A and B are shown apart, each in its own frame.
Chain A
């Protein structure tokens, strides 16, 4: 277990993972559940255990839609989306780890695509 990674994730997210009571409501409400290898409740639990590498290596970190449904509906105020975001930041802050680069953009454009989609994706997928 990488102690530094865990501390950094707790710091970045500001989440107290110990508040989780394992009810699974975050994963019950998550619209991206089927796209994810690790689900919101697992992010919280695995960070608590210090099992960070698996999360960082998983494509699940790019599947969170940041829709705040888990944040809103968690009975304990754990805010799982912030944990997912912190793990993703931990990955993309590394050298050359951007998930999306400006060079990728032209191929993804269509005539109606709002600027909002591009800037949001850039913010989420790259540093």
Chain B
């Protein structure tokens, strides 16, 4: 018989306001095996932990039940406290009477009754607990960063700076991401290229950093400290070791009319191209969808002009397999498509542009060389209307995004300000629902747009844009403060499109078994306390893949993710989770069901000799679990038809004891 202690936490008023904690500790004191039961205001505090330690020693406890918050919050805290007394930490069970009881109920009597039942279940389980010992697994001292935008770049640089190897996988031909397309950055207005391109070069030159550009992650296996990753390096049809990036081929290629994605289709590129002058790696890439040579074997001009002999039409995709200790997701964002918002006439007029397109139209390296010209006729625009929240804060099903995209208020203020500064003859209107500028020097920045640059901020929304044949855009909008409907003859309309996670994020999350929210943003392990870690061990989050973020926030988070990775890679060994699967080989019938469902590849089969009746033996095929690889998810225990698979710490008998305790009234 176990000697069990019960500790009921008030969590201040979080639990105590809804659950009668005294009644709970009193009721549980009568459960079989319980030799001590008490309640305390904050069990996780030092005094609370001491209370537990003292009771373990004084009452010679062999099992501990703590009725408190979710085990995700403080299970480790209490295990450590108990371990310090010499009792095995896996003799601790948590009954979650906060998230699963006090926070979700109003009626105190009912909540108290439920808390008692949850406590009883935990006690029933502890009776069957056995001491467990955690094993160790080695750590591969290399990190993988998926995504080579500013988030991935900063994370990689910081990890490399600590002396660890790091690989960047970027699906585009160059690293740099969205920031390469941006002209200036708020709130200090430094040029994005001037602060980004040196970092890109640093990545290329850092001997610890290896860039796999034009590549994608194809498969991820393994677990924290020991990930095995397959990377598909797409064929560029250019030998990157020979290409000097001279650009001769990109001038001679006869396929001239391919929309240039770097300039968002505002101008054209060739079939062989280098995205922009500062690309890293600065090598050419052939677009196989448009190259005549690759499509029908006619042309070959680029090979003729390449003095380095770098063109290789026979190049194939290449699979690279690497081991990593940690993986950082930095897959970034994209603006949403605007086809559901054609009341703003985006599809009807080239002069209605998205904010990212506007960046290109004002960027010195953009299609207009940095002079703001209307895409339709190349004329200088005089009246510009900026529309905020296009698709953001939109709860209409199947249309926009219910969240605030966070960056639009500030970049719109920047666009409006820079337009007025460069072209004082312009009238600039910004239609806003709320101006959200909570950041250091952010509100001051927005106020400067209004007070120093005379941007017209109008509280209201644009309802309709009607293009006219003379190129004017008739904007109909509400001015809620004046209580009138406005009609503006505009030359350009700029739409602050909502941003969404990159489409590659969802399949990647599946590969990583990392969780996502309904908007496909990666979920953090704890919204406040573990913001750069995924709940899946060894997976870290950097930048807008976790939520909309501007550059300062992204860089800060990228550094934070790097420090978590460094903390992991510093260790030579990781303590494994001892709650792993175990096969009772006498019961195993060798059906392979468990092997098929195991997401970690932890189960293998072996032929083993067993003693049979009458002194005979037989060779049988049975399952065997690699405890270093098993993550304790329990899928195999559900799949096993013979009941041979069981999970240590969560055995079938323990779970059933809990269920029985709950059902027994």
Contact = CB atoms under 8 A, between A and B. Distances in A.
**Direct contact, A vs B (beta carbon within 8 Å):** yes
Interface of A: 19, 21-30, 33-34, 39, 41, 69, 73-77
Contacts of B394: 75-76
Interface of B: 343, 389, 393-397, 399-400, 433, 459-464, 476-478, 480, 483, 485
A77 B460 CA distance: 17
A34 B462 CA distance: 16
Contacts of B483: 39
B461 A23 contact: yes
B480 A41 contact: yes
Q: Which of A21, A25, A28, A34 has the most CB of B within 10 A?
A: A28
A29 B463 contact: yes
A24 B395 contact: no
A29 B480 CA distance: 13
A33 B461 CA distance: 14
Contacts of B476: 28-29
Nearest to A69: B463
A75 B480 contact: no
Contacts, number: 66
A97 B459 CA distance: 37
B478 A41 contact: yes
Q: Which of B395, B400, B460, B463 has the most CB of A within 10 A?
A: B463
A73 B433 contact: no
Given A73-B343, A75-B394, A76-B394, A25 B485 contact: no
A77 B398 CA distance: 12
A33 B484 CA distance: 8
15 contacts: A21-B393, A22-B433, A23-B433, A24-B433, A24-B461, A25-B462, A28-B462, A28-B464, A28-B477, A30-B485, A33-B485, A73-B343, A75-B400, A76-B393, A76-B395
A75 B389 contact: yes
A25 B479 CA distance: 10
Contact of A28 (B397, B400, B460): B460
Contacts of B461: 23-25, 28
Contacts of A28: 460-464, 476-478, 485
A25 B460 CA distance: 7
B396 A29 contact: no
A29 B399 CA distance: 18
A39 B479 CA distance: 12
A75 B463 CA distance: 11
Q: Which of A19, A21, A27 has the most CB of B within 10 A?
A: A27
Given A34-B485, A41-B478, A41-B480, A24 B460 contact: yes
Given A23-B461, A34-B485, A77-B395, 9 more contacts: A24-B478, A25-B462, A27-B485, A28-B476, A28-B485, A29-B463, A33-B478, A41-B480, A74-B396
Contacts of A21: 393, 433
A34 B484 CA distance: 8
A29 B464 contact: yes
Of all A-B residue pairs in the complex, the 10 with the closest CB atoms, nearest first, are A29-B463, A28-B463, A28-B478, A25-B461, A75-B394, A24-B478, A33-B485, A27-B478, A23-B433, A24-B460
A76 B389 CA distance: 12
Contact of A25 (B397, B459, B478): B478
